[in-house]
Structure 1
Amino acid sequence: MKPSYENFLKSPSGKYWEKIGLRRRAGAAVPLFSIYSRQSAGIGELPDLKLLIDWCEAAGLTILQLLPMNDTGFDFRPYDAQSSFALEPVYLSLENLAGVDPGPYRKELDEIQKKFPAGGSRVDYGIKQVKLELLGKIFQGVRKTGTLFDAFVRANAYWLEDYALFRVLKEEHQERGWFDWPAEFKGRRREALEPVKERNSQKILFYTWLQYQLFSQFEDVKKYAARKGVLLMGDLPFLVSRDSADVWAHPELFKLDGASGAPPDPYFSKGQRWGMPPYEWSQIQASDYVYWRERLKTAENFYDLFRMDHFVGMFRIWTVPLSEPLENFGLHGAFDPPDEAVWERQGRERVLRILESTGMLPCAEDLGIVPDCSYRLLRDWALPGMEVQRWIRDWGRSYDFRPPSDYRPNSIATLSTHDMSNLRGWWEYEMGTIDEGLFQREVERRGVSFEKVRDRLFDSKNSHYGRLRWKKEIDSVQAFLRVLEVSSGEAGLLTAAYQSSYGETEKFLKFLQVDSKERDFYRIAKRALERISETASIFSIQLLQDWLWLEESIGADPWNFRINFPGVDNDKNWRLVLPLSLEALQRWPFTESVKRMNEQAGRLSAS
């Protein structure tokens, strides 16, 4: 049965659907740092997005989703930005600066490209400091004022001066967090800040000029995308770094004695502690939501729609006392507010204010432990949530993968997210397995020796990356419980973990409607992409990595071909570079296959 979306137009978000067009769409998601062209200096740059937009147009993809683009300082964690407004300077193209002739700097530009060649498997973020140094030199020789520049400064008065001053003070204090600065700077005493502004007027102007250049290049990309019929989808992190210009300039809007995180769950026995301060919503409300309104106004310069990260935070957020020892993670936190009865009312008020403050369509990242009130709001207001193919299953019963028709119409259907393994990584290393840490904790809680049962239950030769693969002979719950020597009542969660993972491959192949013996991954990838395109979801947006699996010779390591490993501090996170340039993507032999897939799923035009 063909899904209907007409009720979206009658919802509180109707004006957004009318603006972008009420139709099924397909898209691609990729971080800017993962792409590159012949023109790139060490990392994907804003003008490179035009080449990607060209490919999207050729492939019948009308949404291009990006990861957060905000300034991360020198930590390079996009969801822990040092500003919710300022853009990341590393993405600036030095070849395309407004009002600047690159000719006199040709030697330096060529040297940068030689020292930081685009491509490779991971980004070398050393490029940022080198770029900033050359930008500082270029800045010395340019005119600092002008109608467009002055208009930019006025339009961004809410945040721009605070941000530029924050950057200068970070430099003066060796990049230490603002909470470790001397009291007069930490507390923003006017008598301390005025001399800093006077002696650093050119540096403050430099950081202002950088943002002007970034905004100019990004706005140009948005205009180009509009001409090509491609919508740009931004990603607005729900939280901002404790060490950010936002928190330093507006400490009253944040609960500085708390740290955001997540409650304990089967995978994180102590919960999580992210560190970003929760919002002081009473102050945000008292100020008529000006902080959020300004954030959205800024983002609207670049995006047609946006992903609201950690959407459930609009209702409640797990908060850990800042005084809690770090080794306890999120163990001794609590939901804020603690009274579940107020979650829905407060969440609806906050989201309504957001709807009133922007012309962009909000889309919700509603994964993980989600309260029912979140689903209700998204349904009632026709806002898209997220449906991840590997998680849309008949949980607690057959554990089968549910058909495409079961996906929420108000959703974005996807194979993978930036926090997950890509399709092939899941297929080869996770499907039909159980997390080793989870299994060990759960059996030992029941007094069972993990070492004693591991080799009896699992195929060690085919278990990798902390995932345990079941032996074929453990083919029933009874066989599983006999090895554990526990009753079904005692097994609890372990039984569900077994039922959801044993035989998962066969269940997935059944969902794909292919032979149960099929093991050719490229046929499976094509079928998985077709099935996700067929869903009732109004949008189907896939990581560019997953689109690339259509090619047998793409040559990427399935496990490490991912953007982020959550909860792990390593040299791979937020550094992934795709194995082909944007120029090569224009010649990619499977572009027509992507377009045909979208056409067959009714995602090319209104129908």
Structure 2
Amino acid sequence: MKRRSGILLHVSSLPSDYGVGDLGPGAYTFVDFLSKTGQKIWQILPLNPTTPGTGNSPYSSYSAFAGNPLFIDPLSLVSQGILHGDDLEEDPAFSPEKSHYETAWDFKKRILNRAFFKNMDHIESDPNFILFCDVNKFWLDDFSIFSALKSRHNGAPWYNWPQECRFKDPEQLNRINNNLEELILKKKYWQYLFFTQWNKLKTYANNKGIIIFGDLPIYISLDSCDLWSHPQLFLLDENNMPTHVAGAPPDYFSETGQLWGNPLYDWDACMQEDFLWWKKRVEQNLNMFDLLRFDHFRGFAAYWKISSGEKTAVNGEWVKGPGKELLQALTEIVSPAQFVAEDLGYITSDVLELRDHFQLPGMKILQFAFGPDMPSNPYIPHNHVYNCVVYTGTHDNNTLLGWLKKELDQETLLRLEKYTGKQINKNNVCKELIRMAMASPARFCIIPMQDILKLDADCRMNKPSTSSGNWEWRMLQDNLNQDTEKFLTDFTHIYGRNNSQGESM
């Protein structure tokens, strides 16, 4: 129950020679940086597979369970003896400043194919691979078949596959298994390589006293293994297409609301199965992470239901969610102390009651704190409670410097200056808001790496409601320098977040 601080930095943003951040040396160097500066938390975004068709968003994946093979480190395959050094062809001249998802995947895919074919003869007799397949059987068998079919059909969504592949039934699966046996094995092997490397990195972080804070999107994608293999858990028609989809109602920011298009759960069907799929999903995530954020937590209390075919989210309706029944089922198998509620946006009393019933920490975003209601604003530090997580901003926010330059009007800036007692400008905005977050009574304090590095708007991770140019920012290795280390170490110590309050400076 001690005060902690940490950094928000996705794996894709790590330094790497291979076009996108991965689980290689850059990840271990970052863990060492966290340890040196007294940080105890590394928050990341979902690690599921990404695709160019959804803008490479980690929140739009074709599997809620699988890991992203793009993050596999080629150098580790050499050190594991899976490949030889000369198997690593010269990589393309990637820019270190952004993620090159498609060209990086073309390169990684060649390396991973080489790893598979060089080891194919003994993969199925490897006791570690056998154990991995057995432990992950619930999702891995379906995923490997789905992923093999997706490859065979050039990445097309399942609803555009031939009729014999669109619906999962035992007879068809036997025939698919026989026809795609090698490809199915390869998909399993790539998952084995990913989780082997991930578990090694997580163990390294945990041994240095750092916990990994992951993220779980509430909804799955239409083109996903999860819907294809468990259609009974969703509101679908006879063709397994959604009858209703997810979104958000009209509000001050959008008069037509937000039409996300994700399939909605048939919560009665989920409950009849004692939430087995959800239990397995959460178990899987808590094997990967130590803390887990429920993205769009308000959807558990009530969700916006929109009929398929609607062009906007205007004609939706609020429907009661699974709430206490789901969380009660989950907390029978894992501790609620490992959950964090993303309680941002349109929040009603039922959402807060659900969060507080299970004593889940909520989120406090400083960029939201300086409106006209500042004295009573729930995001302003003097109103923070201990059981919460304070952020300067999240992956969906602008950087602090970008926020100051492009989003702050004069009235809001004046309120910020009155609160800090200082004139705020581009030279001190990051320092002053990080100070404010560190000083908060909140149990957890998480700072995006971009704010620690005082970076501008062009380095923000995601701009919601835009489909391109997101998830591309990367940190440079030189960013982890002595000045950055000293700044973060000093603030962490001053505000008692490295658990050494009794020590002298």
TM-score normalised by length of structure 1 = 0.77
Which of these residues, 298, 306, 326, is aligned with residue 350 of structure 1? Answer: 326
Matched AA of 2:472? R
Q: Alpha-carbon deviation of 1:58? A: 1.1
Which of these residues, 563, 567, 572, is aligned with residue 461 of structure 2? Answer: 563
Q: Alpha-carbon deviation of 1:179? A: 1.6
Q: Alpha-carbon deviation of 1:394? A: 6.4
CA distance in 1: counterparts of 2:169 and 2:380, whole angstroms: 60
Matched AA of 1:126? T
CA distance in 2: counterparts of 1:588 and 1:241, whole angstroms: 42
Partner of 2:77: 97
Return closer, same or farther for 1:96/1:397 CA change in 2, 3 Å cut-off.
closer
Q: Alpha-carbon deviation of 1:283? A: 1.2
Matches within 5 A, 1:465-476: none
Q: Percent identity?
A: 27
| 1:245 pairs with 2:153 | no
Which of these residues, 482, 486, 493, is aligned with residue 592 of structure 1? Answer: 486
Q: Are the equivalent residues in 1 in contact too, given 2:364–2:379 (CA < 8 A)? A: no
CA distance in 2: counterparts of 1:243 and 1:394, whole angstroms: 40
Return closer, same or farther for 1:158/1:122 CA change in 2, 3 Å cut-off.
closer
Which of these residues, 454, 471, 481, is aligned with residue 574 of structure 1? Answer: 471
Return closer, same or farther for 1:318/1:606 CA change in 2, 3 Å cut-off.
farther
CA distance in 1: counterparts of 2:262 and 2:213, whole angstroms: 24
Return closer, same or farther for 1:185/1:269 CA change in 2, 3 Å cut-off.
same
Q: Are the equivalent residues in 2 in contact too, given 1:79–1:237 (CA < 8 A)? A: yes
Post-superposition Cα deviations, 1:159-195, rounded to whole Å, max 9, x if no partner, equal 1010010011112222111122222211223333322
Q: Alpha-carbon deviation of 1:29? A: 0.3
Partner of 1:472: none
Q: Are the equivalent residues in 2 in contact too, given 1:403–1:511 (CA < 8 A)? A: no
CA distance in 2: counterparts of 1:98 and 1:371, whole angstroms: 53
CA distance in 2: counterparts of 1:86 and 1:394, whole angstroms: 41
Bigger shift: residues 50-59 or 390-399? 390-399
| 1:544 pairs with 2:452 | no
Return closer, same or farther for 1:602/1:380 CA change in 2, 3 Å cut-off.
farther
Matched AA of 2:327? V
| 1:407 pairs with 2:390 | no
Q: Alpha-carbon deviation of 1:522? A: 2.6
Which of these residues, 280, 293, 314, is aligned with residue 331 of structure 1? Answer: 314
CA distance in 1: counterparts of 2:417 and 2:82, whole angstroms: 54
Return closer, same or farther for 1:606/1:312 CA change in 2, 3 Å cut-off.
farther
| 1:69 pairs with 2:55 | no
| 1:177 pairs with 2:85 | no
Q: Alpha-carbon deviation of 1:134? A: 2.4
Which of these residues, 429, 435, 440, is aligned with residue 535 of structure 1? Answer: 440
CA distance in 1: counterparts of 2:204 and 2:159, whole angstroms: 41
Q: Secondary structure at the match of 1:126?
A: helix
Q: Alpha-carbon deviation of 1:98? A: 8.2
The number of equivalent residue pairs is: 488
Q: Alpha-carbon deviation of 1:103? A: 5.7
Q: Are the equivalent residues in 1 in contact too, given 2:244–2:264 (CA < 8 A)? A: yes
CA distance in 1: counterparts of 2:347 and 2:218, whole angstroms: 15
Q: Alpha-carbon deviation of 1:61? A: 1.0
Bigger shift: residues 293-302 or 202-211? 293-302
Partner of 1:507: 415
Post-superposition Cα deviations, 1:458-479, rounded to whole Å, max 9, x if no partner, equal xxxxxxxxxxxxxxxxxxxxxx
Q: Secondary structure at the match of 1:185?
A: helix
Q: Are the equivalent residues in 2 in contact too, given 1:98–1:216 (CA < 8 A)? A: no
CA distance in 2: counterparts of 1:402 and 1:30, whole angstroms: 22
Q: Are the equivalent residues in 1 in contact too, given 2:245–2:264 (CA < 8 A)? A: yes
Q: Alpha-carbon deviation of 1:605? A: 0.7
- Which structure has the larger Rg? 1
TM-score normalised by length of structure 2 = 0.92
Q: Alpha-carbon deviation of 1:292? A: 1.1
Q: Secondary structure at the match of 2:483?
A: coil
Return closer, same or farther for 1:355/1:401 CA change in 2, 3 Å cut-off.
closer
Q: Which runs of 5+ in 1 are unaligned?
A: 1-21, 338-342, 433-501, 550-555
Matched AA of 2:492? N
Q: Which runs of 5+ in 2 are unaligned?
A: 236-241
